[in-house]
Every structure is written in structure tokens, then in C-alpha cells.
Amino acid sequence: MSNIRILPEILSNKIAAGEVVERPASVVKELIENALDAGSDRILVELEHGGRSLIRVSDNGCGMPKDDALLSIERYATSKIRSDQDLFAIRSLGFRGEALPSIASVSRFQLISRTSKEDIGTEIQIAGGKIRHVKDVGSPPGTMISVRQLFFNTPARRKFLKTVNTEMGHCADVVSRMALAYPGVQFRLHHNGRRIKNWPKAIDPIERIADVLGREMKTALLPVESTLDDISLSGWLASPNLFRTTARGMVTYVNRRFVRDRTLRNALMKGYSGRLVKGQFPVAVLFLDVPADKVDVNVHPAKLEIRFAEPPRVHGLVSRAAASVLQRIDVPGWGSRAANQRIAEPREAYAPLPSGPRSVPSETDRPPAAHEPISTVTPADVPTDPGAASGPVQADLWHRGRFSDLRVIGQFHNTYIVCESGSRLVLIDQHAAHERIYFEQLERGRAEDHPSSQRLLVPETLELGFKEADVLKALSPDLATIGLDVEPFGGTTFVIKSVPDILAGREAAPLVVEIAEKAVEIGVAGDLDTAVQESLMLTACHSVIRANQPLSDTEIRHLLRQLDQCENPAHCPHGRPTFVEWKTAELEKLFKRIV
């Protein structure tokens, strides 16, 4: 007798249910997807005890005649695909033909369905995968599926379910994600006989976003829209100030299917790069439309994972679109860019703050009196080329003002620059602001392949560990593009021959060691670009002015002028804000001058 046997159908359905039906939320997801595929515009989800006792999904879709209803509970029976070509161009939410038989095999299952063309509906009852009865019933057009006592015949699975509140939370998340993707469908959610949510049909998708995420988000979200050939992106992004501590706020859809895709999330994080610190995640709702034959959704039975045929194109589209939107809000509150105005190239080149011994401030260096405006023109700003004055005039970067238009009050704690602009009090973190200036200077030099560096009279040597030495060898060509020339010197020893101008006079070895250690932590082999970006951040951080460092009025004004020319003046490269501001009304509330 053979030791290998073909499993009974009931047992094979239970095995399949282990992949498709993980918890009550999995059942809710599958049933809502079927309802949407049936063309429903009203869906009611009823739960008892977090879905443990009852899950019922009712819809007003096309319904099924008796023969189709009986076929729907057979494994791999579906109306969504017909051939293997259809499998690689899936346009529906469901397609595997596994959900209903898998659910029915681990529950007490009831299906009632009727088409609009028939006068009578069909009821099918199944317990643990066995059909109990099939009969005609009166019912409205559409389908109602009830799932009772989930996992009643698989106690090992049932004991792994969490508390009622936890399971209910997962079910509510599923319904809300579906509601976000289908604003034209009414969704209602009931629990233990009480209405929990009711999302009516919304003409404007932003209304559904506000209903699901909260009314306060309606004014905080920024629309994003972009197209690359046959791929289109739309959705909303929140300001970096409205971050989350987990990735739950990043909601992504591909062809209106909710997915958890690493390419999309990495692209979104790249778009927010330099605006969030470690451990912070953005809030975003993104809809990506991709030709059905260029995305594979048949990766996992849960259908939450996908594969793109061209991941780099998708990554580039999402990251660039997000960065473009966020760049428009990286402006001070006292000024904003003109609508549809192209940002002009900076007028003056980046330059380090004046260094060397400080002289006693002259009359022109003194802080201005309260009635004196700060001049944004210095002798260095006046063009020396006779033909320069006749050239095109550069458009203003801000509508109302720039950092250099602020009236400087002074320094607080030799760390924060205190400024005033009309009805606002502005505090600028001098270290974060200078770090942003130098970071963009390094990026520009790397992009133009013309690094400004100084050759060391006496090269510095350093000894590294094996891992650090290995990644530094891979990074050396990219470090050379910013003027940091590091070469192997035998074994795990390296020699530093030149450094960027901004590091002149500073010890470079500690910086190179930190770059190598950070690259090991990131894994340079997996993402060289990220390792290079981290290297630029570290180089900028080691080069700039520090906290508790006094600055003259001339140095402060020079810093503000350079900050005006940054693409992202609102954040340092690590994501920390460069400035904070308070309106007069906010200060008066603190002092109880107004209520």
C-alpha cells in the first residue's frame, strides 16, 4: 500500500483556509472584495464579538442564480478569469476561486443570493465544508453571506485569535481601507447590533478621506498627481509635521487594491527624505494605476503582496511626485512660492561662513534698530560684470519675504537665532540650518562632478575593521565626488589625501570612521545610494557651526542669505526642523491677553 495519498477535499480546503483565512478580518476582506466585484454600491458589514460569533456581509450587487451559487462554493470556481492569459492581466479584486470554499470549510456558512431578473433567491447552508441544505428563499437582489463560529472545527486555530477588541480593530481597518478606495460605495459597519461607522457615498474623494481619517485631515492633506507614460499616481500627502510612529499611516493602492509593497513604501520614504527623523513615518493615501499586465497580484493567497514588472519606474514616479509636493510646503510661514512659478537658480554660490579671528563689530555690523529693515544686499551681492545688470531679472523666491528679510533680534543660548517678521516670532536652529546649507552644497558638487577640495599636506591614515574596510572600498569612488579622497593603504589601513573645502582645518579621520560604520549598519551592498546620502549628511554635520557657538551679526545675515537658496530650507538633512515660529495671537493666548 502506498504511503502517499490524495487528501480528502474537506482536508485540502482546511489547509487552503490556513492561507486565505487568517482571522475574522481576512473573511471580511474577501467578502467585501466579492461584493465590489459584483458591482455593489451599498455594502453592510455586521459583526458579533469581533467576528468570532458572526460575520455577515450584505450587498446590492448583481447576485447569482442557483447554479452559479452552487458553483461558487467549489474550489477554483470563479467568474473572474477564463484562461492563463487572464491570470497575468487581472482587473478584478478576487480571482483565485478559493475564498468561499475555504471560509465554508472552517465555519457555519450561509449564502443567500438573487439576481434582479429572478423572482426567487437561493439559500445554501454549509457546516465545516459539508452542504446541509439548498433551498429557494425570498430575498432582495444581491448577496448576503453569513459566517458563524469561525474555526469551530479547528480549535487549534481558534485559540490563536486575539481579544474581541483586537479582532474588531482589524476588521474595522479592513472596512476603512476599502472605503478609502471606493468613495462611490456606501459602507456601513455594525458590531453587536450597534452602528460603528456609516460612510455614505462621496462625490469628491477628499470627502471620503476626511470621513475615514478624520475631519481635521481634510485641510492638512496635500493633493499629489503625476503620470509617467502608462502609469499614473494620485492621492494625498500630509505635512511632515503630521507624522506617525509606525507605517500604518502609509496607505497605498494599486489599481484600487490595498497592498503592502516595499517598492511603494521605500519610494514614499525617499520623497519625505530629509523631512522626517528616524522612527517617524508619513501619513499618505496613494492610488497607483498600472496596466494590468504590468503588475502581478498572484503572489500570495491574501493578495496583499504584488510584483511590478518595472519597479524602478514606479519607484521614481512616486518618490519624485512626493518630493515635488513637499517642496512646495518647505517654505516659511511668512512667505510662499508663487503659484506655478519656476524656482530660479540661486544668485550667489554657496560659501562657508566667514572664519578666522573676529574683529570688533563696526557700525555697519551692529544689529539694526527696531525701525530699521535688514538690507538683503551686500557689496558681495552687487554684480561686478558690466553685462550682468542687463540680464534677465531673477524672480523672487517667496511672495512676501525670505529668511534674509527677517529682522534679527539676536542669539539665544548661542544656539538659536531669534528673529521677527511682522506678526511672527521665528527661532532658527543655527546648527540645523547650516547643516542643510552644506548638505545641499555637497549634493550640488557631486551632481556637477566638480568637487571643491583641499589636498592635505600630510595625509591622514586610519585603521578600520574588516567590515568597515570592505564597505569603504566600495564607497571610495562616491566619496571622491564630494572631494573626500580616501585610498586603501594595505590591509585594512586607509589614507586620506584630500578633504572638501568645508572640512579644511578639521580632523577628517573621525568622520571617515563614522561614515564606514554607518555604511556597515545600512548595508552598502543593498543600497549604495542610501549609504552615499548618509555619508553626505555626516560630512555636512561634521563641518558646520555648532550649538553654543556665538555668531556675529554679519555671520547670521550670511547664514540667512544662504538658507534662502536651499531647496528644502525647512529641515536639516536628518529631518529635524531648521526653524519654528509663533504668531502674535499664539503668544497672546499664552499670556492670557486673548482667550
**What integer is the mean pLDDT of 543-564?**
89
Contact 351, 440 (CB under 8 A): no
Question: Are 55 and 196 part of one and the same domain?
Answer: yes
Q: 445 and 299 share a domain?
A: no
Is residue 160 domain-shared with residue 234, that is, in the same domain? no
pLDDT recorded at residue 557: 92
Task: Assign 456 a pLDDT band (cuts: 50, 70, 90).
Answer: confident
CATH number at 269 reads: 3.30.230.10
**Could you give the CA distance from residue 265 to residue 70 in angstroms, rounded to a whole number?**
41
Question: Which H or E run includes 593?
Answer: none
Bigger pLDDT: 127 or 505?
127
* pLDDT (0 to 100) of residue 16: 63
Which range has highest mean pLDDT (345-354, 381-390, 462-471)? 462-471
Question: Which of 26-30, 108-112, 343-347 comes out lowest in average pLDDT?
Answer: 343-347
Burial class (CB in 10 A: 0-12, 13-18, 19+), 182: buried
Q: How far is residue 295's CA from residue 13's CA, in Å, rounded to a whole number?
A: 28
State mean pLDDT over 93-113: 88
The confidence band for 17, taking pLDDT boundaries of 50, 70 and 90, is: low
| Structural domain ending residue among the three candidates 329, 360, 388 | 329
In this structure, what CATH number is given to the domain that contains residue 504? 3.30.1540.20
Q: Are 30 and 94 in contact (CB under 8 A)?
A: yes
How much is the pLDDT for 399? 47
pLDDT at residue 460, rounded to an integer: 87
What would the mean pLDDT of 155-162 be, rounded to a whole number?
Answer: 88
Checking if the pLDDT of 244 tops 50, the result is yes
* In a domain? residue 489: yes
* 411 and 299 within one domain: no
Return the higher-pLDDT residue of 471 and 66. 66
CATH number for the domain harbouring residue 200: 3.30.565.10
H-helix or E-strand containing 147?
strand 142-148
Residue 553 within a domain: yes
pLDDT at 283 over 60: yes
- CA-nearest of 239, 209, 227 to 288 is 227
Confidence (pLDDT) at 512: 85
Contact status, residue 38 vs residue 59, Cβ threshold 8 Å: yes
* Distances from the Cα of 524 to the Cα of 3, 274, 487, 513, angstroms: 50, 19, 18, 15
295 and 414 inside one domain: no
pLDDT band at 567 (very low <50, low <70, confident <90, very high): confident
Q: Given a cut of 70, is residue 366 above it in pLDDT?
A: no
pTM, two decimal places: 0.69
Model confidence pLDDT, tens digit, residues 367-410: 333 333 333 333 334 344 444 334 444 444 444 458 888 999 99
- Please give the average per-residue pLDDT across 436-445, as a whole number: 83
Helix 528-543 to helix 509-522 angle (10° resolution) is 150
Residue 452: predicted pLDDT: 75
In a domain, 370, yes or no: no
* Grid coordinates of 307: 510584483
Whether residues 517 and 444 fall in one domain: yes
**pLDDT (average), residues 187-205:** 94
Question: Which of 206-210, 338-342, 494-498 has the weakest average pLDDT?
Answer: 338-342
Cβ distance 242 to 328 under 8 Å? no
pLDDT at 358 over 50: no
Identify which has the larger pLDDT, 16 or 63. 63
Measured in whole angstroms, the distance separating CA 117 from the mean position of its chain's CA atoms is 46
pLDDT at 335: 56
What are the φ/ψ torsions at residue 564 (nearest 5 degrees)?
A: -60, -30
| pLDDT value of position 40 | 95
Of the candidates 460, 482, 459, 485, the residue with the CA atom closest to the CA atom of residue 472: 485
Domain assignment present for 151: yes
pLDDT the model gives residue 523: 62
State whether 429 and 575 are in the same domain: yes
Confidence of residue 32 (pLDDT cuts 50, 70, 90): very high
Q: Which bin fits 175, alpha (ψ -120 to 50), beta or left (φ > 0)? A: alpha
Cell output for 380: 558681495
pLDDT at 48 over 70: yes
Tally of CA atoms within 13 A in the half-sphere of 161 that contains its CB: 28
Residues 6 or more apart whose Cβ sits within 8 Å of residue 134: 66, 70, 122, 123, 124, 125
If one counts the domains in the chain, the total is 3
Q: Looking at the domain assignment, is residue 342 inside a domain?
A: no
**Domain co-membership, 535 together with 564:** yes
Range of the domain at 169: 9-205
All cell numbers assigned to 204: 469628491
**Confidence band for 474, pLDDT divided at 50, 70 and 90:** confident
Task: Report pLDDT digits (tens) over 248-271.
Answer: 889 999 999 999 998 999 899 989
Percent of the chain with pLDDT over 90: 39
Same domain, 551 and 444: yes
> Which segments within 290-406 are labelled E, that is strand?
295-296, 307-308
Which of 329, 354, 375 is the C-terminal boundary of a domain?
329
Residue 461 shares a structural domain with residue 588:
yes
Does any domain span residue 55? yes
Query: DSSP letter at 364?
Result: G
Average pLDDT, the chain: 82
Closest CA to 44 of 147, 184, 177, 145: 145
CA pair distance 5, 1, nearest whole angstrom: 10
Can you give the pLDDT at residue 401? 55
Would you say residue 170 has pLDDT above 90? Answer: yes
Q: Which of 32-36, 220-224, 391-395, 527-531 has the lowest mean pLDDT?
A: 391-395
Rg of the chain over Cα atoms, rounded to whole angstroms, equals 31
The domain boundary residue, chosen from 296, 311, 329 = 329
Lowest mean pLDDT across 136-150, 328-342, 544-558, 575-589: 328-342
Q: In this structure, what C-alpha cell is assigned to residue 478?
A: 562616491
**Any domain includes 374:** no
- 289: pLDDT strictly greater than 70: yes
Q: What is the pLDDT of residue 181?
A: 95
pLDDT score of 593: 85
Provide the 10 A C-beta neighbour count for residue 559: 23
pLDDT score at 394? 40
Within 10 angstroms of residue 343's Cβ, the number of other Cβ atoms is 12
Answer whether residue 579 shows pLDDT above 80: yes
Q: Is 521 inside a domain boundary?
A: yes
pLDDT band with cut points at 50, 70 and 90 for residue 353 = very low
Res. 582: pLDDT tops 70: yes
Reported as a pLDDT band with limits 50, 70 and 90, residue 87 is low
Q: Does residue 92 have a pLDDT over 60? A: yes
* Residue, of 450 and 213, whose pLDDT is higher: 213
Higher-scoring residue by pLDDT: 515, 177:
177
Whether the pLDDT of residue 470 is over 70: the answer is yes
Cell of 557: 545675515
Q: How far is CA 430 from CA 327, 382, 565, 571, in A?
A: 21, 26, 16, 12
Predicted pLDDT of residue 491: 85
33 lies in the same domain as 175: yes
Closest Cα partner for 406 from 567, 561, 550?
Answer: 561
Residue 60 is placed in which grid cell? 446590492
Regarding whether 160 and 46 lie in a shared domain, the answer is yes
How confident is the model over 399-411, as pLDDT tens digits?
Answer: 445 888 899 999 9
Q: How confident is the model at residue 6 (pLDDT cuts 50, 70, 90)?
A: confident
